[in-house]
Structure formats: structure tokens, C-alpha cells
């Protein structure tokens, strides 16, 4: 849950490192630091707070070193403080390390090292790593080129948990070593220089050529070279991946915040997700999937597993798979699925949704299903992300980089991709719902325009947000698919405005929660499914009677209009309606957060990629 950057080359390292960290702040931002090789010593500069605080550290501008490592932290062990910030050195000051992940057995390792006389100055799990490297390095009697590599590899054998580690050693100033297990790490290749980062966009302005490191692989970097080893220290070859992304796509494009930019990118993101998979004539195409009718007919259950917003997208996907393919589909939260001994076998298809592709619980849930013989399919936005490398099959949303912690375009593109995937399944299965599928295809192709249209509500949503931003509690209500989008609207509001909210199936209200409705409370109603709108309206009237202010998102003409605000959105097939109805809800959360003067893109206590349990 942290971001790491590294540089080895001929340019001043510190500005490159800080620039990279600024782009990785979505991974955590409670403290930051860099370590640079400086005239035969390792100079560490770090502090509590955001990456930009590094600029205030005296002497940071004077660092001339051209080799360095850097870190932006999201605390797991030990409070955010200067002492707990990375990089961490060993007791001798010869080794410096940054680490992303969690060392689960750090207490045992600390005890082992303490017995050997090592001292600890932070509350972190990370501090055991440089000290263990020092220990094994000095224990090794063979003083050859491989000595440091052997020490790092030996340390990895002791570590339990997840890690992406960068290490520099004072006496080898022209090299650095990196290793990963269950935490993201990429190497960017330049000319007589090499870069390291937790993700590709952070260093995309420096290079387009990347090596993707797999679990338990170690890389040794010099200015001119990168060598890769497996855990037995056998040399391995890795091919360079050319990443054809535009670095400016990751900038704000004139918007105040990444979140607003990403909300407005949705028409295009949806278009890109559909891509060439849905030709106007003929069957749906998935180049990367070669599912046969025989295989799909053998599936008796689909599991969709994910976290947070991605899980909410899964709830919409469930409806679509069940309706089009008639396959029993269950949705589960990854952190629950992985520990509840789910009933899965080789007749189960498990679909994992993850924007980042690095969510620890989702990856663990995928590994569990694989171990039980199920086939696994990953839906991700990040090419080469960990989840896509673990899964049997991977398909991408192609929504472009999502930087804001609150996920927006990832959600809409995930739902679109599941709809297209369900059509592909239904067509491969030769289901007899040809007319229904034909109509749904037309609806999917019309989505970019409908999302564009829905964005026109921005001003009116902002107006309503100004009226209610000081409230403490809100409710989100809907039935059927509208209930799934209520969950997403409520999550958006919580995470960026810090207002408590509950999402409920509208019909459940009178089984308890209606007791909380009192004069002045805001209730958001989502009313899009023509079959259920009347029923939901009755529930909304019940809260109005009890004094609630109502904010209604609908694609229907509502006659009896005693609502505070009605946002009319374009009509679309009910299976797809969340792709359109979520837009006003995203904007609602956004404007409330802005009214409250909060940091929309980096809400408190959250990080973009949850790479620890």
C-alpha cells in the first residue's frame, strides 16, 4: 500500500525520484522519503506528510547523486512519522531499503536480529530487511560479485508476507537490487539509465520500455544493464514490453481534480472498452478468449469476486450473466471469499474484477480458486498487473489510467465489459435469445452518447450538493439493479465526503431503517427499472411523509412530483442502466466533497491500490 520509485543513471536522481513519487501518491501519502548515493555515502531524506513536503527538507536540492530509491507510505506498522518513513537503513548505515507490502513474520525476525545485537529505531516491519541483508552479507565468506545478490535472496527466504523491495549498498554505488512477491514492481529501461516504479504511469514520461517482474524474481540494475534471477539465483531472460500509453493521459487535462476528469472521461472510456469487440453485424469478438460451446456448457456456476467499487460492478454483472446465459452467478467480496471455503471446482468459472489488478484480497481469492481447479478470468484496467498474470484468462477495460482514489470510469467500463462478455458467452452457447441480444448490443453501442448526455446534469447536481453538504447522514434507495447502483453511490459519498450513508433495497426500508428517517434527512432515490419504479416511488413517499428531502435519479417521466430535485437521465435497457444512473451519483459525491473543501482525489485513510490485506 505504498509507492516506490528508483533511478540509476547519469542524471541527478532526486528530482526524478520525487516526480515519480508524486504520481504514486494515490498508493499512499502519509510520509515520503528518498535515499541517494552521495559521495560514497547513502544520504537519506524523509519526513511525515505528503511527497511535496520533501521539497522543504534542507539540502534536498543539493543532492547530486545519480542513483537513488524513494518511497511514499501508507502506514501499516507504526504511525506516520519521520522515524517510520522509508528509506530505512541497517545499523551500519551501509544498506538502505524501501519496501511496499507487509512482512508478516517481522516480530520473529526482529527477535532473531535483536539476539544478534541489532537495534531497531522504528516501529515498522521493514526495518528488519536492511539488517537481515547486513547479517547475511557479512556471514557469507565468499567475497565475489554475487555476494549481495546471495544475501538478498537469502533474506527473501526468511520473509513471510508481501514485498516489493529496492536496495542500495554503499560499497556498490553503481548498482541496485530489486525483488518482489505479491506487490507490484516494474522496471523502465532507458539509454544508459534504468527506472523502477510500482506502476507504469509514474515513469511513463521517462520511458516506454518496461520489464514486468514476476513474483520471487530478483533484478540487478546497473546504468547499462538489467539482469534477472529466479529464487534459486539462476539467470533468467525477460522480454521488454512496449507500453504505448500517452503520459499526458495521466495528467489532469485542465480539470481541477483527477476525479472530475475521470468522470468526464467516461463516454470515451466506455467507447474504448467496447472497442472492436462488438461489431454492428456478426458475433461478439474476444481475441484473448477461446472459449468453446462445450466448455461454457460445462460451467454450472460463475463467481464474480472483487472489492469495493469493482464488487459493485460485479453485482450488475450478475444480473446480466444470469439473464443472458442462464448460468447461476454469485458475487462475493474477495476478503470474505478467500476465507470462507467456497464451493468451487472445475465446473466453476471465477471472474475477478480489479481496476488496479493489484488488490491483495482479490489476488488471494483468485489463487484459492485456482488451487481448487476452477478456471479464472481477470478483468483489469492495468496491462501486466499481478492479477492478469495469475489468471488463466485476462481481458482489459482499456479505460485509461485512473488516478483518483474514488473509482469512477473503472466502474462503468467494468460493467460494460461484463455486458459484452455475457453476450459473447450467450452467443458461444448458442442461446435462443437472439433478438434480446441484438437489442442489447444496440443499447451497448449507444452507451457513450447516453453517458455524455447524463453528464449534462452536472450544474443541477452541484446546486443540490450546495444545499446538503453539511449533513451527517444520507440514504440511497433503489430496487433491483437500482439497488446495486445505490450501493455504489453511497460508497462514493462516504469515501470522499466523509458523510455517513446507507444504501438499502427500497422495499427493506420498513423492516428497520425507516426508524432513522427524520425531518431534513436527504434520501437519494434511483428509479430506472420501469417494472419497479412505481413500487420505489411508494417507498420514497414514505420517507417524504417523514420529512426527508429527496434527490431522484430517473429515466422515467414522474408525474406526482413532490421531490426536492429530479435528475432525468437517458433511458437504456434496465440491465445496463447503472452505467448511466451512476453518473449523477458520482457528481453528487464530488460536489459535496468540493463544498466541504476536502481533497477529492486523495481522501483520508484511503489509498488507490489496496495491496495489503
Catalytic residues: 2, 608
Give the C-alpha separation, 468 to 522, whole Å: 7
Binding residues for ligand AGP restricted to 309-348, rule: CB under 6 A: 309-310
The CA distance from 373 to 288, in Å, is 21
Instruction: Candidates 4, 75, 263, 406: give the one binding ligand AGP (CB under 6 A).
Output: 406
Of 44 and 419, nearer to ligand AGP (C-beta) is 419
**At its nearest, how many Å lie between ligand AGP and the CB of residue 79?**
23
As a whole number of angstroms, the longest Cα–Cα distance in the chain is: 85
Rounded Cα distance between 505 and 486, Å, is: 8
Residue 584 binds ligand AGP, judged by CB under 6 A: no
Judged by CB under 6 A, does residue 124 bind ligand AGP? Answer: no
Residues 282-311: x where in contact with ligand AGP by CB under 6 A, - otherwise, as a string: -------------------------xxxx-
**Using rule CB under 6 A, residue 407 touches ligand AGP:** yes
- Residue number of the CB atom closest to ligand AGP: 308
- Please tell me whether residue 379 binds ligand AGP under the rule CB under 6 A: no
**What x-and-dash track marks residues 348-367 binding ligand AGP by CB under 6 A?**
------xxx--x--x-----
Q: By CB under 6 A, is residue 610 in contact with ligand AGP?
A: yes
Looking at residues 478 to 497 of the shown chain, list those that interact with ligand AGP (rule: CB under 6 A).
495
Q: Is 611 in the site for ligand AGP (CB under 6 A)?
A: no
Q: Does 528 bind ligand AGP (CB under 6 A)?
A: no
Give the residue with the Cβ less far from ligand AGP, 177 or 313.
313
- Can you tell me the distance from the alpha carbon of 218 to that of 195, in angstroms, rounded to the nearest whole number? 15
Q: How far is the CB of 172 from ligand AGP (least distance, A)?
A: 36
80 vs 248: CA distance, rounded Å: 31
CB of 132 to ligand AGP, least distance (A): 31
Contact criterion met (CB below 8 Å) for 406 and 589: yes
Q: By the 8 A CB rule, do 349 and 328 touch?
A: no
Q: How far is the CB of 506 from ligand AGP (least distance, A)?
A: 23
Cis peptide before 87 (omega within 30 of 0): yes
> How far is Cα 101 from Cα 414, in angstroms, rounded to an integer?
27
Task: By CB under 6 A, tell whether 570 contacts ligand AGP.
Answer: no
- CA atoms of 166 and 385, how far apart (whole Å): 19
- Residue 320 or 363: the one with the smaller Cβ distance to ligand AGP is 363
259 forms part of the interface with ligand AGP (CB under 6 A): no
d(CA 490, CA 441): 29
Contacts of 86 (CB under 8 A, 6+ apart): 2, 4, 31, 33, 46, 71, 73, 97, 98, 99, 124, 126
Nearest approach in angstroms of CB 305 to ligand AGP is 10
Compute how many other C-beta atoms are within 10 angstroms of the C-beta atom of residue 295: 13
User: How far is it, in rounded angstroms, from Cα 500 to Cα 201?
Assistant: 33
Inter-axis angle of helices 409-428 and 578-595, to 10 degrees? 170
Nearer to ligand AGP, 364 or 406 (CB): 406
Residues forming contacts to ligand AGP in the complex (CB under 6 A) are 307-310, 354-356, 359, 362, 405-407, 495, 609-610
Amino acid at each position: 500500500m505504498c509507492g516506490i520509485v528508483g533511478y540509476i543513471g547519469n542524471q541527478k536522481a532526486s528530482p526524478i525520484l520525487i516526480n515519480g513519487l508524486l504520481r504514486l501518491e494515490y498508493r499512499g501519502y502519509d510520509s515520503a522519503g528518498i535515499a541517494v548515493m552521495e559521495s560514497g555515502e547513502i544520504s537519506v531524506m524523509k519526513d511525515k506528510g505528503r511527497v511535496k513536503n520533501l521539497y522543504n527538507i534542507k539540502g534536498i536540492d543539493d543532492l547530486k547523486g545519480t542513483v537513488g530509491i524513494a518511497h511514499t507510505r501508507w502506514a501499516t506498522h507504526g504511525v506516520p512519522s519521520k522515524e517510520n518513513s522509508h528509506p530505512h537503513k541497517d545499523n551500519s548505515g551501509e544498506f538502505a531499503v524501501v519496501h511496499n507490502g507487509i512482512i508478516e513474520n517481522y516480530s520473529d525476525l526482529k527477535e532473531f536480529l535483536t539476539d544478534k545485537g541489532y537495534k531497531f529505531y522504528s516501529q515498522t516491519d521493514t526495518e528488519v530487511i536492511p539488517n537481515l541483508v547486513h547479517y547475511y552479507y557479512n556471514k557469507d565468506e565468499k567475497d565475489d560479485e554475487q555476494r549481495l545478490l546471495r544475501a538478498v535472496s537469502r533474506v527473501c527466504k526468511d520473509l513471510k508476507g508481501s514485498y516489493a523491495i529496492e536496495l542500495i549498498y554503499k560499497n556498490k554505488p553503481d548498482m541496485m537490487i530489486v525483488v518482489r512477491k505479491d506487490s507490484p514492481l516494474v522496471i523502465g529501461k532507458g539509454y544508459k539509465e534504468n527506472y523502477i516504479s510500482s506502476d507504469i504511469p509514474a515513469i511513463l514520461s521517462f520511458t516506454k520500455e518496461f520489464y514486468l517482474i514476476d513474483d520471487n524474481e530478483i533484478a540487478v540494475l546497473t546504468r547499462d544493464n538489467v539482469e534477472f534471477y529466479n529464487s534459486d539465483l539462476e539467470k533468467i531472460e525477460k522480454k521488454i514490453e512496449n507500453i504505448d500509453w500517452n503520459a499526458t493521459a495521466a495528467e489532469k487535462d485542465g480539470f481541477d481534480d483527477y476525479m472530475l476528469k475521470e468522470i468526464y472521461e467516461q463516454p470515451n472510456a466506455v467507447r474504448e472498452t467496447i472497442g472492436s469487440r462488438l461489431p454492428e453485424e456478426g458475433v461478439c469478438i474476444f481475441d484473448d478468449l477461446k472459449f468453446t460451446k462445450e466448455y461454457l456448457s460445462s460451467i454450472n456456476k460463475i463467481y464474480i469476486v472483487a472489492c469495493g467499487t469493482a464488487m459493485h460492478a460485479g453485482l450488475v454483472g450478475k444480473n446480466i450473466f444470469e439473464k443472458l446465459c442462464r448460468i447461476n452467478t454469485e458475487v462475493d467480496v474477495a476478503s470474505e471469499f478467500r476465507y470462507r471455503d467456497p464451493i468451487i471446482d472445475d465446473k466453476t468459472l471465477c471472474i475477478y474484477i480489479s481496476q488496479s489488478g493489484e488488490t491483495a484480497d482479490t489476488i488471494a481469492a483468485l489463487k484459492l480458486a485456482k488451487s481448487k481447479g476452477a478456471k479464472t478470468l481477470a478483468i483489469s484496467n492495468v496491462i501486466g498487473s499481478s492479477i492478469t498474470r495469475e489468471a488463466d484468462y485476462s481481458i482489459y477495460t482499456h479505460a485509461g489510467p485512473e488516478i483518483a482514489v474514488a473509482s469512477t470510469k473503472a466502474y462503468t467500463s467494468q460493467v460494460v465489459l461484463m455486458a459484452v462478455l455475457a453476450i459473447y458467452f450467450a452467443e458461444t452457447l448458442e442461446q435462443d435469445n437472439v433478438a434480446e441480444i441484438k437489442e442489447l448490443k444496440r443499447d451497448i453501442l449507444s452507451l457513450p452518447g447516453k453517458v455524455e448526455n447524463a453528464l449534462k446534469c452536472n450544474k443541477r447536481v452541484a446546486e443540490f450538493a450546495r444545499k446538503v453538504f453539511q449533513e451527517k447522514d444520507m440514504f440511497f434507495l433503489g430496487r433491483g439493479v437500482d439497488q446495486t447502483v445505490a450501493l455504489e453511490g453511497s460508497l462514493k459519498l462516504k469515501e470522499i465526503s466523509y458523510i455517513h450513508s446507507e444504501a438499502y433495497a427500497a422495499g427493506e426500508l420498513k423492516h428497520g431503517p425507516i426508524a432513522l428517517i427524520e425531518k431534513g434527512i436527504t434520501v437519494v432515490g434511483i428509479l430506472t427499472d420501469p417494472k419497479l419504479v412505481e413500487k420505489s416511488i411508494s417507498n420514497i413517499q414514505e420517507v417524504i411523509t417523514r420529512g426527508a428531502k429527496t434527490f431522484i435519479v430517473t429515466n422515467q417521466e414522474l408525474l406526482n412530483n413532490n421531490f426536492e430535485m429530479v435528475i432525468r437521465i437517458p433511458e437504456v435497457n434496465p440491465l445496463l442502466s447503472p452505467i448511466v444512473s451512476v453518473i449523477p451519483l458520482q457528481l453528487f459525491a464530488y460536489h459535496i466533497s468540493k463544498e466541504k473543501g476536502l481533497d477529492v482525489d486523495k481522501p483520508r485513510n484511503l489509498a488507490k491500490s489496496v495491496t495489503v490485506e
